[in-house]
Structure 1
Amino acid sequence: MKKKWPFIFAFSVLLSNTVTVLAQTEPEEIKVEGDKFQDFFYESIFQKSIENYDKSLVALEQCLKLKPNDATIYFEMGKNYQYSKDYKNAYSSYEHATQIDANNKWFWVGLYDVCYETKDFNQAIIFVNKIIPFDAEYKEDLVSLYMATKQLDKALALINELNEKVGKTERREMYKMEILSEGKYQSSEIDNLKEQIEKNPKEESNYIALIFLYSNNNEENKVQEVAKKLEKEIPESVWAQVSLFKNYLDNNDGANAVKSMNMVLASSKIDSKIKHRILNEFLLFANANPQFVPDLDNAIGYFKNDPSVNVAKEIGKFYHNKKQWDKAIKYYDLSQKNSSEVDLETNLLWLQANTELKQFEPVVKKSMAMIDNYPAEPQFYYYAGMANNQLQLFKKAKDILEMGLDYVVENKNLEINFNIQLGEAYNGLGDPTKKELYFNKANQLLKEKK
């Protein structure tokens, strides 16, 4: 006699036509009676477990001779064919199992698995719909299958159904964003969100989604309507303030705009990109309404620990481009005060802004300090030399410029400026020969640029 394998199976399913309960056990987890049948069946399970699929199938053929209409045998044959990647016979075996017993979830799962592995997603949808009455969790699979087959309207409807019944998931929200990127689906989603807001006016996420949809369609009036409704229903909602802020600015209501801005900037719920956008909008407003500049300065404090953008520096550059040098310097100073690291660009911009204001003593002091820390950076030598020339300290200017010129590499504009300043220094020192030498070098470099 063949050795009987002492497997213990935790669950049971009927091996013939039966009434199946919803919470079913996978068919291989069984205990069967009858010595011969049991020997062949356990042999097939063992051979499958060590991946001898051909031998497992041979044992199952013997089982079929004993019980030719046993659905579970066909299911087990399907598994062996599937693991062997013989999808045609796997499909046929699973299908035969469902024909004998259509009320077993696992038989339909077998057909679904084969279709999924062979990327026959349209057929997979048919089988998932057979499984869902037994196991509603397969609706998640159905969403993915609708996406794969571009049935986006069905996918969106099912996503909304699942969101309402079981809550949102990251994957479904990603699918939803993909669907709504196509404008034709936005109208139905707007209707859905309105309906959800009426059903549950305290659910903030529906207002936010509706605001974003209206914003993408440039329907600002509707954005404000939703934002006001959100503020009324959920007064503590910071998302309402994001939309109301823009409305306050448009109406030149600076006081309320400041309140909304501060709420948004203080919130950990709001993405940093939105915060930066709000600050930029308020910067433009404050530039036109100087009485709100102190509020702008306070707002910068919210970005002290933001590693992505040096906000004070960017505001300084904004004023720099407008040639408002005093304001630019103020924010460059604030930028350096808030940062633990020295930023070369900020220092160079600071030097340029002070040069424009003819504040040469601070330029000398700053540039010499930077030379001590960055002795190979030629631009600091240039500013130190130029400022000393302007202060008529020509000897200092000459020495610094000659030292710094050695560090100029492949920067023709800077090299031209060095030579001009050296000419000025030697002119101040009363050396016309070297004055002409450096001015001529500068002219020659200018010609080469052309």
Structure 2
Amino acid sequence: MMRRVVLSVVLWAGLLGGVVVAQVPEGSNVPAASEKPLTRRQQKALEKEQHELEKKLAEARAKRAALRAQMSSLMTERERERSEALFVDGVKYSLLEDYNKALESLLKAYAIDPDNAAINYKIAEANMLSGNMRDAANYAESATRIDPKNAYYYLLLAQIQASQKQYDSAIKTYATLIKEVPNSGSYLFNLADLYLAQSKLPEALTTLDQAEKEFGQVDEISFKKQQIYLKQNKLDQALVEGEKLIKANPNEVRYVLAQAELYANNNRLPDALRVAQQALRLDPSAAQAHLILADVYRQQNLATESAQELRLALSSPSLDIDVAVRILIGYLKQLPSPQESINQLARDLAAATVTAHPREAKAYAISGDVLVQTDRKAEARNAYSRALRYDNSKFEVWQQVIGLDGELNQTDSLLLHSNRALEIFPNQAQFWFYNGIAYQLKKQPARAAKSLEHGRKLAANNASLLAQFDAQLGEAYHELHEDDKSDASYEASLASDPSNVLVLNNYSYYLSLRGVKLDKAKTMAGKVVKQFPENETYLDTYAWVLYKQKDYAGAKDVLDKIITKSTDGSIIEHYGDILYQLGDKEKAAAEWQRARKAGGTSEMLERKLKEHKLYE
């Protein structure tokens, strides 16, 4: 019975994975259950039973291990599925540019499967896109270590390194990529670019030579080698590369043009002329060829030939509008020129540009600039107006159009253009200023005052512009018979600009018409005539102030300087009034008659003539 108990305990312990050893007194050869030795038969039975027990124990252990392995396998599968789901979420958030959520999902996937190259790659990419370059580099390096045969992992790492100007590291990354990844020779071009970025020209050349051995004659290789040779001042070798390009692409005019330009830029004028003409044989419409020829002729002091080639170049629709504009800007710097031939050439080139690009606002705008500088203001105004048809968003063009409307006294156009400009630029004070002037010229002082008042608020920080607004408001308020406002506006304008001749003249004249503040009016008018002693308008104002002060003799002396030559009816009428006050009524009547013929007189003139009497 004791033997069975011991065996049962052993079996139970084996199933639990433990080891139980029966304790036998030291030095004893007899089992603890009995002091008598076992018989041979009993010994065999016991051994057999033990053998069976060990066999069952081994089977139990195997089953237990299999069960544990199965459980482990099931757990790994669940984790793998969880990792993949998190990875997919991370990629989705990256595409949505929500990099915080992307990293949250990807890092959870990484915690489950840190040796997954794709997960490391996407974490690196999300970090890079969110600006965390240090972590981006670390995870990108991990991706390349885990999967050293994937080109994309190297490319991301090199991009991260290059963005931080770690060019040496990026070079090593590309070198490893080319070495480790099969069929990756195309990345030799990237490697060459990195060498160029560091001005490691010999290394770049070596890399390009390696690429040429692998891929043969490739245009990109020749271009890059040519670039390097030029930086090394090896013109002949650069030209050799250019010739290789032409030979490999005999019908490609761009390679011929590039070679011609290279000759021209390095003062190889006969060669430049020869190759540019070769380009024109390939493509007669090649505007660039004409530009090269124009430059060659200019360097040879052949002005007529150079000008003709420029006309041909700018007449071609194939010439980019921005190139044409740059050429014309170069001429603008010379305008107006004392040499009319240069002024005319600039106008010709501007006209050619408009013809070649009839729907380009830039063409009309630059043409307007040329015409303004060569004193063709009416044509310039029309050119700017055409520019606005194709692009009405340019503030500077509206400025030019409206300014020229004013200079040319085109009141209707000034009103039209200023109103349209205000639809687009309602906060631009100067457009309100011109709008107010236009209404004033149209004899609509109420509207003029409204525009000027609004614009003045926008010009609060511009003292010079404020002075102009106040001057015009003085005019508008005068027309509206709001004398106090008119005077206040003029005073404000003079406070900013005490020497404004127009304000001094008009303010003093209006005061004289009202017969108020005549001493102030005399002082202001006196300043003006002292500065402009022969201007009949200013002299008339000063004379009329003296007249209002009853200084008729002084008024006559002032107008005597100009009256014989004047054709202004208002001034002649004033002179007649002065003569009448001095008692010379017959001569006064004669002057009134002369004033009637000149026009622009007061409403009282007919009554004066009819009754031979002064009416004011």
Instruction: Output the TM-score relative to the length of structure 1.
Output: 0.56
Percent identical pairs in the alignment equals: 19
Q: Indicate the structure (1 or 2) with the bigger Cα radius of gyration.
A: 2
Q: Which residue of 1 aligns with 2:313?
A: 260
Q: CA deviation at 1:366?
A: 3.1
Q: Which residue of 2 aligns with 1:231?
A: 280
- Determine whether 1:241 maps to 2:294: no
1:162 to 208, 212, 235: 212
Q: CA deviation at 1:439?
A: 1.7
**Aligned to 1:184, what secondary structure does the other structure show?**
coil
- Determine whether 1:337 maps to 2:386: no
How many residues are treated as equivalent by the alignment? 342
**Aligned to 1:352, what secondary structure does the other structure show?**
helix
Distance 1:166 1:137 in 2: 14
Distance 1:228 1:445 in 2: 63
User: Larger deviation: 426-435 or 120-129?
Assistant: 120-129
2:496 maps to a residue whose letter is L
Distance 2:383 2:172 in 1: 61
Q: CA deviation at 1:192?
A: 3.4
Q: Contact between 2:364 and 2:386, CA under 8 Å: does it hold in 1?
A: yes
2:448 to 397, 402, 406: 397
Distance 2:428 2:173 in 1: 68
Distance 1:281 1:136 in 2: 46
Q: Which has the higher contact order (CA 8 A, sep 6+)?
A: 1
- Determine whether 1:314 maps to 2:366: yes
Q: Contact between 1:320 and 1:353, CA under 8 Å: does it hold in 2?
A: no
**Aligned to 1:252, what secondary structure does the other structure show?**
helix
Distance 1:214 1:425 in 2: 66
Distance 1:383 1:199 in 2: 62
Q: Matches of residues 196-235 of structure 1 in structure 2 within 5 Å?
A: 197=246, 202-217=251-266, 222-232=271-281, 235=284
Distance 1:222 1:149 in 2: 33
Q: Per-residue CA shift, 1:178-217, capped at 9, x if unaligned?
A: 6356352444212432465578754534433323434554
Q: CA deviation at 1:354?
A: 2.0
Name the CA shift for 1:425/1:138 in 2 (closer, same or farther; >3 Å): closer
Q: CA deviation at 1:135?
A: 9.2
Q: Contact between 1:316 and 1:328, CA under 8 Å: does it hold in 2?
A: yes
1:385 to 421, 436, 444: 436
Name the CA shift for 1:218/1:324 in 2 (closer, same or farther; >3 Å): farther
2:435 maps to a residue whose letter is A
Instruction: Output the TM-score relative to the length of structure 2.
Output: 0.43
2:314 maps to a residue whose letter is M
**Aligned to 1:310, what secondary structure does the other structure show?**
helix
Q: Contact between 1:128 and 1:141, CA under 8 Å: does it hold in 2?
A: no
Name the CA shift for 1:246/1:442 in 2 (closer, same or farther; >3 Å): same
Distance 1:429 1:435 in 2: 9
2:353 to 283, 286, 299: 299
Distance 2:403 2:206 in 1: 59
Q: CA deviation at 1:419?
A: 0.1
Name the CA shift for 1:394/1:444 in 2 (closer, same or farther; >3 Å): same
Q: CA deviation at 1:387?
A: 3.7
Runs of at least 5 residues in structure 1 that lack an aligned partner in the other structure: 1-49, 54-81, 88-93, 95-105
- Determine whether 1:352 maps to 2:382: no
Name the CA shift for 1:391/1:194 in 2 (closer, same or farther; >3 Å): same
**Aligned to 2:409, what secondary structure does the other structure show?**
coil
Q: CA deviation at 1:242?
A: 3.5
